[in-house]
């Protein structure tokens, strides 16, 4: 990635000092102590898309369970917004040696490839887009087969930033079908966030496949974080249409079996889901921790707010008891 160079010119100071320059100079050790924090703030990566079920609000709880034990391969089979991955990738030292992000949404994976491999090209592509209803529906109707990753990535980000409630949903044919959203001034292009994400994704393996397949070769020293479509809290609350085919009850059952298989191979695996009787049944053989999470995506604004969720681990998190947040 090319970086802009900045020329600086030294001049003799003759002007009246500003209030900032007139303030007491910090001691060298104070500057050194503050520099690392400022550097981290400038380079921290965060999600580039708004994704239903995103985990930014749960990061504090999730990172407590990840702990400080070194990780060889870090894997997210349901990447979505990948909030935990970006948080861990921005840590110093970084807790993992290698990482794999997987998702069944092919458009999202293409977007991540564009961010990783050609973020400057993606930034140029996004400059073409404006917040416009007619443009939104023309772009929504585009068939992406034959498009480059940069074109697909630009389309996904544009639609995600301007659609209703920032929701990504597809129909039975796999076509995005969320309507145009009403915003004051949506930020379609965020260059700083994209470049930080590109640095975090460098040398990361990106896949579009089944959650069981992507974890099949893992072994001791590896770590998996599952963030699947949630078990519905009620028959009318189900939303699993992030990708064509959805996520059925049978898939939830298979996921629980995969968690047990990983435990038998010495792989630490963590999962988050809604706190429902069905979830408790599925994961009764594992450690279950209750947390409060705030949900910002719901077609009914009165239902956005705190909800009870579970963090499930196939090992005992040191210093935490079941039921603890």
Q: What is the pLDDT of residue 319?
A: 61
Q: Is residue 12 classed as helix, strand or coil in its secondary structure?
A: coil
Three-state SS annotation for 171-200: CCCCCECCCECCCCCCCCCCHHHHHHHHHH
CATH topology assigned to domain 47-104+209-325 = Rossmann fold (3.40.50)
For residue 65, CA distances in Å to 46, 225, 322, 325 come to 19, 11, 12, 10
Task: Please tell me the CATH superfamily of domain 106-197, with its number.
Answer: Adenine-specific Methyltransferase, Domain 2 (1.10.1020.10)
Q: What is the pLDDT of residue 17?
A: 37
CA distance 278 to 126: 42
Q: What is the pLDDT of residue 232?
A: 83
Q: What is the pLDDT of residue 12?
A: 37
Q: What is the pLDDT of residue 155?
A: 98
Q: Is residue 295 classed as helix, strand or coil in its secondary structure?
A: strand
Q: Is residue 272 classed as helix, strand or coil in its secondary structure?
A: strand
189 CB-near residues (< 8 Å, 6+ apart): 123, 126, 127, 129
Strands (E) in 79-176, as ranges, are 96-102
CA distance 188 to 20: 35
33 CB-near residues (< 8 Å, 6+ apart): none
Q: How many residues does the chain have?
A: 325
Q: What is the pLDDT of residue 307?
A: 81
Tokens for 4, please give them. 């802009």
Q: What is the pLDDT of residue 20?
A: 40
Cβ(145)–Cβ(162) under 8 Å? no
Domain ranges of the chain: 47-104+209-325, 106-197
Residues of the chain with pLDDT under 70: 1-43, 234-246, 295-305, 318-325
> The pTM is what?
0.82
Cβ(180)–Cβ(133) under 8 Å? yes
């Amino acid at each position: 990635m090319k970086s802009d160079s900045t020329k600086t010119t030294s001049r003799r100071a003759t002007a009246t000092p500003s209030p900032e320059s007139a303030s007491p100079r910090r001691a060298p050790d104070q500057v050194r102590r503050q520099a690392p924090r400022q550097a981290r703030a400038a380079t921290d990566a965060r999600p580039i898309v708004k994704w239903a079920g995103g985990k930014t609000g749960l990061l504090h709880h999730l990172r407590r369970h990840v702990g400080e034990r070194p990780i060889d391969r870090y894997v997210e089979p349901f990447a979505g917004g990948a909030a935990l991955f970006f948080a861990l990738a921005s840590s110093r030292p970084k807790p993992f040696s290698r990482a794999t992000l997987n998702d069944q949404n092919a458009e999202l994976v293409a977007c991540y490839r564009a961010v990783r491999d050609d973020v400057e090209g993606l930034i140029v592509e996004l400059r073409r887009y404006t917040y416009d209803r007619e443009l939104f529906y023309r772009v929504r109707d585009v068939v992406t087969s034959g498009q480059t990753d940069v074109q697909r990535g630009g389309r996904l980000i544009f639609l995600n930033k301007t659609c209703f409630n920032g929701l990504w949903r597809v129909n039975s044919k796999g076509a995005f079908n969320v309507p145009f959203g009403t915003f004051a001034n949506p930020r379609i292009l965020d260059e700083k966030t994209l470049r930080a994400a590109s640095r975090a994704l460098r040398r990361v393996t990106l896949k579009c496949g089944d959650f069981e397949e992507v974890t099949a070769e893992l072994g001791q020293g590896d770590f998996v974080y599952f963030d699947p479509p949630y078990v519905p809290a009620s028959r009318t609350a189900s939303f699993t249409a992030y990708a064509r085919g959805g996520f059925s009850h049978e898939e939830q059952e298979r996921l629980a079996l995969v968690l047990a298989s990983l435990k038998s191979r010495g792989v630490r695996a963590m999962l988050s889901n809604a706190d429902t009787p069905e979830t408790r049944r599925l994961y009764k053989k594992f450690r279950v921790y209750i947390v409060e999470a705030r949900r910002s995506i719901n077609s009914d604004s009165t239902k956005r707010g705190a909800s009870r969720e579970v963090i499930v681990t196939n090992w005992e998190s040191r210093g935490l008891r079941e039921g603890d947040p």
